Structure 1
Amino acid sequence: MSSGIAELRDSGIMIQLAYQAMLKMDLDVAAIVKRLGITPELISDRNARTPHAAQPVFWQVLEDESGDADIGLHLGEHLPAYQGQVLQYLFLSSPTFGDGLNRSLNYQRLLSDASQSSLGHEGDEIYIRVGTATDLTSSLRHLSECMVLGLIQFFQHVTDNAFRPSRIHFSHQKPSSDAEHQRIFQCPVIFEAAEVRIYFDQSLMAQPSSHAEPELLQLHEKLASEHVAKLERQDIVSKVYKVFGEMLETGQVSLDDVAARLEIKPRTLRTRLTEAGTNFNQLLANYRCNLAKRLLAGTDESIDEIVYLTGFSEPSTFYRAFKRWTEQTPVEYRNQRKSSQ
């Protein structure tokens, strides 16, 4: 895989919904949030995107802290309805549930860069294949169970509770007891299937939306397209950050160096960063600043080592830059962070 591949990220709304579910379940949210490094800013930022690769850590921490072997099921059971987002509006303004479902699949990247869900047909049933570009959906039991419950709950919400799954397929092994699955899903649940699927009667595709509005549908589809286009423009930022991580320790990193690593022309890189609302120097400064903060607050690395790791040639240059970024010296920042932990 080349270094130009952008890191797959999930919508921040996923963390926010999970956070609300954890509060409902009376879990030790403070301990979970601390272990995961989730900041108050992330919880409140509806435009945030989180690394998809962090899912295994997220679910392991939740299982450890809750002691619940069915934490994915129970978190999914307590998830608030997915509301106030463009995909919800797209569903509601579509003439039927089936039309909204087909339209939303075109914009599933709004939920996750990794999402690759699709529709299939078997006899009198339609199924939704719940899949991703990674194998995490099939390999992480908690993730797949929570995702399926979240989707069912959302479908019930947009169909005024008419949606009912006829059966569920999971690809993970059957747990020692599936009593909770039977209680929560209230339909046959199949384990060790080839794919994660939600089956339902095909008649539901024609279920009319009580909020259907052609003019609003056009507006919502335009809005969804703009959101996806914005994410695509941001891809270049993720790619550049990835290259920074690979090259920074070698010394000064230039736009020409990064463009060469991405196999594009420097002029093209400059243009695409402008379209994403940023520029090379700003990205490099942001990356160095965030890296320096993480190293100062979370490690015992010496200042000299942090100077090297952040790509500065001289400690004095690093000190001036850090003071400009934070209005603190590196030592002041480290001491403040250590005393607050």
Structure 2
Amino acid sequence: MRYSTLTSWAQLLWETLQDDGIDPRPVFAQSGLNPAQLGDGHARYPTDQMHQLWDLAEQLQSDDLLGLKAGMRWHSTTFNALGFAWLASDTLHDALERLVRYARLISNGVHVDIVQRQNLYLLSFDAELTPQRSANLAAVTATVTMCRALLGSSFAPVAIDLKHTYQDPQNAISDFFGCPVQSHAQHSTIALDAQQAHVRLPGANAQLAQLNEKLALENLNRLMLDNLPARVAELIVKYLPTGEVSASLIAQELALSGRTLQRRLHAEGTSFNDLLDRVRQHLASDYLQQSQLSLNEVSYLLGYADQGNFNRAFKRWFKETPLQYRHQALANVKAR
């Protein structure tokens, strides 16, 4: 599956390096990335080369704050139509829902999810390709910066969980977020006050939000069609709970014949069954970390006719039972 990232995300890194007195051109050249594409709002870089870019940039830094400095540079133009739809949202919750829907425009290998836990909303970030430490911190920092664009510079999350650990002798990271920050999390997560998330925003503009969301949807559809495996995976997620997901159903949804779908997937180095198995494996890991879901419910959400089939597939993926996996995952959360 081909993963790509908006070049405007790399623009933040370019500017950060320049401000630190580092010429970014050799870093981009060594990563095989053309800086001329930075000015194109729709251009994309291969995600694996973006990872190399972050790696090289980290090596040139004297501190561990590259991601923080880059994420603080977020501007509405960074995410094109999504950024403007964000600023015109009615509430913070509406804005977060838009981020969840269109995060793949930023990077189509990134998954953003939001769930409610009592009086909190938990916004989590996960990626198909393991992100660099700095890139992960940049994503969380940019999101908080986006929230402050809506709610003011004094906004602070309730808590932050980061996937990685950072050397921060001056407490710059915790000072920026203005809340408790934990490391070694399963996923990087921002905890937000649910009541605050539903306060109407002064800059709300439904017409402007809808107009830019329409543009974001058009761009996402174009990206998904260009990346057929990603589009198939999306539809698998949609139809799994019905228990009727099949190659013929997905082909019909994409206005393709079953044979054409399989041929095009084969050309991409995958197949419908491979994608189905991969999606189930990824979702199974996420669902089992949600303690409110029973094992039967997880099995149902993954489209299995009975829990026995789910258990056998899970042991093939993770070499342990779903219950063992859940106990360990929940123990890791409590240990933090």
TM-score normalised to structure 1 length: 0.62
Distance verdict in 2 for CA 1:51–1:208, change over 3 Å = same
Q: Does 1:83 align with 2:63?
A: no
- Alignment check: 8 A CA contact 2:67 2:141 kept: no
Deviation at 1:33, TM superposition (A): 2.8
Amino acid of the residue matched to residue 142 of structure 2? G
List gaps (5 residues or longer) in structure 1: 1-5, 240-262, 270-341
Q: Which of 155, 175, 180 is residue 163 of structure 1 equivalent to?
A: 155
Which of 110, 116, 137 is 1:115 aligned to?
A: 110
CA contact (8 A) 2:65 2:168 kept: no
Find 1:66's aligned residue among 44, 61, 66: 61
CA separation of 1:97/1:237 partners in 2, compared to 1, >3 Å: closer, same or farther? closer
Task: Label 1:184 to 1:103 Cα distance change in 2 as closer, same or farther (>3 A).
Answer: closer
Structure 1 match to 2:17: 22
> Structure 2 counterpart of 1:114, which letter?
G
RMSD in angstroms over aligned alpha carbons? Answer: 2.9
**Aligned pairs for 1:245-260 within 5 A:** none
Question: Cα deviation per residue 1:230-274 (whole Å; 9 max; x = unaligned)?
Answer: 1122225999xxxxxxxxxxxxxxxxxxxxxxx9449x97xxxxx
Structure 1 equivalent of residue 91 of structure 2 = 96
In the TM superposition, residue 205 of structure 1 has moved relative to its aligned partner by: 1.2
CA–CA distance in structure 1, aligned partners of residues 71 and 205 of structure 2: 30
Contact 1:28 1:65 in 2 (8 A): no
CA distance in 2, matches of 1:19, 1:194: 29
Larger radius of gyration: 1
The structural deviation recorded for 1:53 is 1.9
Q: Which residue of 1 aligns with 2:280?
A: none
Is 1:233 aligned to 2:225, yes or no? yes
C-alpha distance in structure 1 between counterparts of 2:96 and 2:229, whole Å: 30
Distance 1:11 1:158 in 2: 23
> In structure 1, how many angstroms separate the alpha carbons of the residues matched to 2:225 and 2:62?
41
2:202 corresponding residue in structure 1: 210
Quote the residue 2:173 is aligned against.
Answer: 181
> Could you tell me which residue of structure 1 aligns to residue 184 of structure 2?
192
Partners of 2:167 and 2:16 lie apart in 1 by 23
Does 1:222 find its partner at 2:247? no
Letter in 2 for 1:83: T
Offset, 1:177:
4.5
Counterpart secondary structure, 1:210: coil
Question: Which stretch has the larger CA shift, 198-207 or 26-35?
Answer: 26-35
Write the mapping of 1:269-308 to structure 2, written as runs, cut at 5 A: none
Tell me the residue number matched to 2:255: none
Amino acid at match of 1:157: A
Moved over 6 A (4+): none
- Whether the 8 Å contact between 1:127 and 1:199 is mirrored in structure 2 is yes
Shift of 1:90: 1.6
Corresponding residue of 1:131: 126
Partner AA of 2:135 in structure 1: L
Counterpart-to-counterpart distance in 2, 1:114 and 1:57: 16
1:118 shift after superposition? 0.6
- 2:127 partner SS: coil
Describe the SS at the equivalent of 2:111: coil
Separation in 2, partners of 1:65, 1:163: 32
The code of the aligned residue for 2:187 comes to E
- Pairwise CA distance, 1:103: 2.8
Number of residue pairs the alignment of both structures matches: 237
- Aligned match for 1:153, one of 120, 130, 145: 145
Deviation at 1:226, TM superposition (A): 0.9
Paired AA for residue 165 in structure 1:
P
